Amino acid sequence: MNESKGIKSWLLTLDHKRIGILYLISVMSAFLAGGIFALLIRFELISPGKELFDADGYNQVFTLHGAIMIFMFLIPSIPAAFGNFVMPLMIGAKDVAFPRLNLASWYVYMAGAGFALYAIFSGGIDTGWTFYTPYSTSTTTAVIPMTFGVFVMGFSSIFTGLNFIVTIHKLRAPGITWFKMPLFVWGIYATALIQVLATPVLGITLALLIVERFAGIGIFDPAMGGDPVLFQHFFWFYSHPAVYIMILPGMAIISELIATFSHRHIFGYKFIAFSSLGIAITGFLVWGHHMFISGQSDLSSLIFSFITFFVGVPSGIKIFNWIATMYKGSISLRAPMLWAIAFLLEFSIGGFTGIVLGALSLDVHLHDTYFVVAHFHYVMVGGTVMALFGGLHYWWPKIWGRMYNETLAVIAAVLVFIGFNVTFFIQFIMGTQGMPRRYYTYLPQFEGMHGFSSIGALIMAVGFFLIGGYLVYAMFKGKPAGPNPWKALTMEWETQSPPLAGNFEGTPKLRHGPYDYDKVVAENAVPEYMHEPHR
């Protein structure tokens, strides 16, 4: 990290740690952009009618919010930033299997982002992040540049997934067998499988959409014998597994946080490990639950609903195992643990409401309403983003060698928790009362609820900006953190903070399991201020 200096050494780096940081900067910039669009949405929706935008403008804003958050932030975030920085350290490797492919994946991501940026300034995009035909084949906005940008970014995801699969199979240090790996690695591995298998389908789908737009081949055009619903099947075949690309790495982080901050062996290691694989596999079989009202056959809907309920079981298993880990633990409520607890509560709500939507009869009423919007924000923000920020606070001292201000971190975590629930819980009620989604204006009966939701967004924003502030400050001015401020037992904590260029001196050997808190007390002296306050 401190070895070679200068911008060229960063832009041509082959070090997984530097590539992880490059990705971190990129995805957090995307989070900022997507977040600004979110604030614009919530401001526009404070009352019916125009606040800032007309209907066309609003349609662009919500499309960009979704497209940026999903393709440029959520999908790459945890794997590309933390998978890259932390995973090789956790398995005692010097780097990933293909460092050049790793750097290339970041450049591919940036190229795709470039096309997306070009699309925003050359006509914008107003189709919703789902690009449904025939609207997306007939609208005059810049659909081709945007979808091409997403197409390119997909390759970044595939390269990363491929790299991680090979790394985890081949580069584990002596003694680190599959069942002696940290659960973070299991989660990244399951995610990588989905990335490699599902993303090509998105590529093909978007390529077909692009060709349809400029050559009019008719695959989605009913006037030429094509089928607009076919687009939905193609699109969701990727986009449903994509949501597991988003949540599995988040769950992977939560395993680490709960174990470390309960200072206890994770409960049900094998169950958690296999549940990640179970989610990855069944995730490919449920895409039609986005299409119960699309006109697809009742038999299809039946099968998709049935399998959808199977996916709920492994997620529940994880939650129960994490809580059981806390039983008789030695629990520290430092910032990373607060984010983990927020995850447990918010992801549970997201999960329960997913059950509601999976029930066929209820989905008829709730599809395309704010209930769905609230559900996916509870799992993607209440789930993935909470886990991401937990990981950020957990590994920040490892990445920079410096610690952030704990008081500010607690305040920010509480602000985000309150803001998030104020914003989104009421949207469940708006949805059940019939408020449709993607609405620029609305009937007066919903004004109070919309206003309340918008206040929550402001509170959340304050929390996130606060985090940006103290984390950046800590990078340069934080107190030195030492190699293992948390006294954790996974291998990344057995190196310096920040790690040496080659990660370890020589080849490390496994000396204890990643969660042997009942057998081992972590070595490495910890600075005085890191001790828990005496009571």
- Site membership for another protein, residue 107 (CB under 8 A): no
Q: Which of 15, 17, 35, 59 binds another protein (CB under 8 A)?
A: 59
What's CA 400's distance to the chain center, in Å?
Answer: 22
For residue 524, give both structure tokens: 């490495």
Please name the residues in contact with 375: beta carbons below 8 A apart, sequence gap of 6 or more: 350, 353, 354, 356, 357, 428
Q: Which of 99, 123, 218, 316 binds another protein (CB under 8 A)?
A: 316
Give the nearest distance from C-beta 507 to another protein in angstroms. 28
- Site membership for another protein, residue 211 (CB under 8 A): no
Q: Which of 41, 245, 341, 381 binds another protein (CB under 8 A)?
A: 341
Give the nearest distance from C-beta 453 to another protein in angstroms. 16
Which stretch of DSSP H or E encloses residue 403?
A: strand 402-403
Rounded distance between C-alpha atoms, residue 408 and residue 122, angstroms: 41
Restricting to residues 441-460, name those near another protein by CB under 8 A.
441-443
Give the nearest distance from C-beta 339 to another protein in angstroms. 13
Contact 294/232 with Cβ under 8 angstroms?
yes
- Site membership for another protein, residue 531 (CB under 8 A): yes
- Site membership for another protein, residue 355 (CB under 8 A): yes
Give the nearest distance from C-beta 435 to another protein in angstroms. 9
Q: Which of 352, 511, 524, 527 binds another protein (CB under 8 A)?
A: 352
C-beta atoms surrounding 12 within 10 Å: 10
SS3 359: coil
- Site membership for another protein, residue 320 (CB under 8 A): yes
Nearer to another protein, 7 or 223 (CB): 223
Read out DSSP for 125-143? Answer: --STTTT-TTHHHH--S-H
C-beta atoms surrounding 7 within 10 Å: 7
The pattern of x and - marking residues 138 through 177 that bind another protein according to CB under 8 A reads: xx--------------------------------------
- Site membership for another protein, residue 328 (CB under 8 A): yes
Question: Which amino acid belongs to residue 324?
Answer: A
Rounded distance between C-alpha atoms, residue 17 and residue 21, angstroms: 6
- Site membership for another protein, residue 32 (CB under 8 A): no
Restricting to residues 226-265, name those near another protein by CB under 8 A.
228-229, 262-265
Q: Which of 367, 393, 402, 450 binds another protein (CB under 8 A)?
A: 367
Half-sphere exposure of 421 (CA within 13 A, CB side): 12
Look at phi and psi of residue 43 and say left if phi exceeds 0, alpha if psi is from -120 to 50, else beta: alpha
C-beta atoms surrounding 85 within 10 Å: 25
Nearer to another protein, 505 or 532 (CB): 532
Restricting to residues 263-282, name those near another protein by CB under 8 A.
263-268, 271
Q: What angle do CA 356, 357, 359 make, to 5 degrees?
A: 70
Rounded distance between C-alpha atoms, residue 389 and residue 416, angstroms: 11
Among the candidate windows 103-111, 116-124, 333-341, 374-382, which touches another protein by CB under 8 A?
333-341
Restricting to residues 116-145, name those near another protein by CB under 8 A.
126-128, 132-135, 138-139
- Site membership for another protein, residue 534 (CB under 8 A): yes
Nearest to 125 by CA among 78, 61, 178, 81: 61
- Site membership for another protein, residue 179 (CB under 8 A): no
- Site membership for another protein, residue 521 (CB under 8 A): yes
Length of the chain: 535
Among the candidate windows 76-84, 87-95, 244-252, 302-310, which touches another protein by CB under 8 A?
302-310
Q: Which of 26, 102, 195, 301 binds another protein (CB under 8 A)?
A: 301
